[in-house]
Amino acid sequence: MTLKSFMNDAISPWMKNEGPEADIAISSRVRLARNLDSLPYPIIASEDDLNKVIAETETKFSAHEHEKFGALSLLKMQELSENEKRVLVEKHLVSPHLTREGPARGVLLSEDESLSVMVNEEDHFRIQCLLSGFQLEEGLACANAMDDWMEETLDFAFDEKRGYLTSCPTNVGTGLRSSVMMHLPALVLTKQLNRILPAINQLGLVVRGIYGEGSEALGNLYQVSNQTTLGTPEKEIIKDLSSVVAQLIQHERAAREQLWTNSKDKLEDRIYRSYGILSYSRRMETKEAMERLSDVRLGIDMGIIKDVQGSILNELMVLTQPGFLQQYAGEALNSQERDWRRAALIRERLTLEEESHDGGGEL
Partner 1 sequence: MLCQECQEREASLHFTKIINGEKTEFHVCDVCAKDKGEYLPGGNSFSIHQLLSGLLDTGQSFAKSSKQHSRQQAKPELQCKTCGLTYKKFAENGRFGCADCYQYFDEKLDPVLKRIHGGNSVHAGKIPKRKGKDMHVYREIEDLKAEMQNHIAAEEFEEAAKIRDQIRSLESSLHKKGGDVS
Scored b (16 or more CB within 10 A) or e, 291-311 reads: bbbbbbbbbbbbebbeebbbb
Over its C-alpha atoms, the chain yields an Rg (Å, rounded) of 21
Answer yes or no whether residue 67 interacts with partner 1 by CB under 8 A.
no
For residue 231, how far is the Cα from the chain centroid?
A: 27
Report the nearest approach of partner 1 to the CB of residue 164 (Å).
8
Residues comprising the chain, all counted: 363
Answer yes or no whether residue 28 interacts with partner 1 by CB under 8 A.
no
Q: Which is nearer to partner 1, 31 or 256 (CB)?
A: 31
Residues 114-153 as x/- pattern, contact with partner 1 by CB under 8 A: --------x-----x---------------x--xx--xx-
Task: Report whether 42 contacts 101 (CB < 8 A).
Answer: no
CA distance 178 to 136: 7
Site for partner 1 in 191-230 (CB under 8 A): 198, 201-202, 204, 206, 208-215, 223, 225, 227-230
Answer yes or no whether residue 43 interacts with partner 1 by CB under 8 A.
yes
Answer yes or no whether residue 163 interacts with partner 1 by CB under 8 A.
yes
Answer yes or no whether residue 101 interacts with partner 1 by CB under 8 A.
no
Q: Which is nearer to partner 1, 142 or 172 (CB)?
A: 172
Report the nearest approach of partner 1 to the CB of residue 302 (Å).
26
Q: Which stretch binds partner 1 (CB under 8 A): 32-40, 182-190, 251-259, 301-309?
A: 32-40
Answer yes or no whether residue 92 interacts with partner 1 by CB under 8 A.
yes
Residue 335, annotated ligand binder?
A: no
* Annotated binding-site ranges for ATP: 27-31, 92, 126, 177-181, 208-213
